[in-house]
Amino acid sequence: MLSAKRNDIFLYAISIGLCAASYFILNYNIELSLLPHKTVLEFIFDFDLVFIDNVGYEQTNGLFTIARNCLGVKLFINLFLIMVFGFLHKYEGLKHKAAAMMRFYMISFALAFVITVVRISASVPFCTCDRFHLIHNTLSLGIYFAAGLIVYFVMERKTTSMKESAVTL
């Protein structure tokens, strides 16, 4: 029992380390980190974005900017930590927990990217409004909060059905 708790603490420490490393790596070169966001948005809206040092990608006529805060790193870290601290304990054995943690990492990363692109895309039509920042921030909070809740409830359902199927075997 002590060994299992020690393994859990070890995996929790690794997950926090992964979060810190990911945060610094993704923020180190925002031109590269925001490139997927830029590519998808250019495809969706058919406009050009140009990189400006220490700012981010800006639309050529200055309508809006995709900056460091738009990257979604904090969302990614929050989703990952929700999964790790909320559901890792439901897995048995160090190998299964480590594999689950890596899945959580990849899922969180992918979800954060998709959610961030959706959030930015949903905000683009409001760029010319006087209260753009209020609309953008309110939309962002709603989307992020909903994403956290959805991830939690989907994971709860998945891990509950996982335990039920293990009992019936």
The residue ranges of DSSP E strands in 20-137, in sequence order, are: 49-52, 56-59, 65-67
Cα–Cα distance, 108 to 159 (Å, whole number): 16
The answer as to whether 43 is a domain residue is: no
The candidate with the shortest Cα–Cα distance to 44, out of 110, 132, 111, 120, is 120
pLDDT recorded at residue 32 = 92
The answer as to whether 145 is a domain residue is: yes
Domain residue limits at 82: 2-30+69-168
Q: What is the pLDDT along the chain (169 residues), one digit of tens a residue?
A: 568 888 889 999 999 999 999 999 999 999 999 999 999 989 988 888 999 998 899 988 888 889 988 889 999 999 999 999 999 988 888 899 999 999 999 999 999 999 999 999 888 889 888 998 899 999 999 999 999 999 999 998 888 876 666 544 4
Tokens of 79: 């989703």
pLDDT recorded at residue 71 = 87
The answer as to whether 15 is a domain residue is: yes
The answer as to whether 51 is a domain residue is: no
The answer as to whether 41 is a domain residue is: no
The answer as to whether 137 is a domain residue is: yes
Cα–Cα distance, 107 to 83 (Å, whole number): 10
Instruction: Fill in the DSSP letter of residue 63.
Output: S
The answer as to whether 44 is a domain residue is: no
pLDDT recorded at residue 2 = 61
Q: How many domains does the chain have?
A: 1
pLDDT recorded at residue 62 = 80
pLDDT recorded at residue 15 = 95
pLDDT recorded at residue 169 = 44
The answer as to whether 144 is a domain residue is: yes
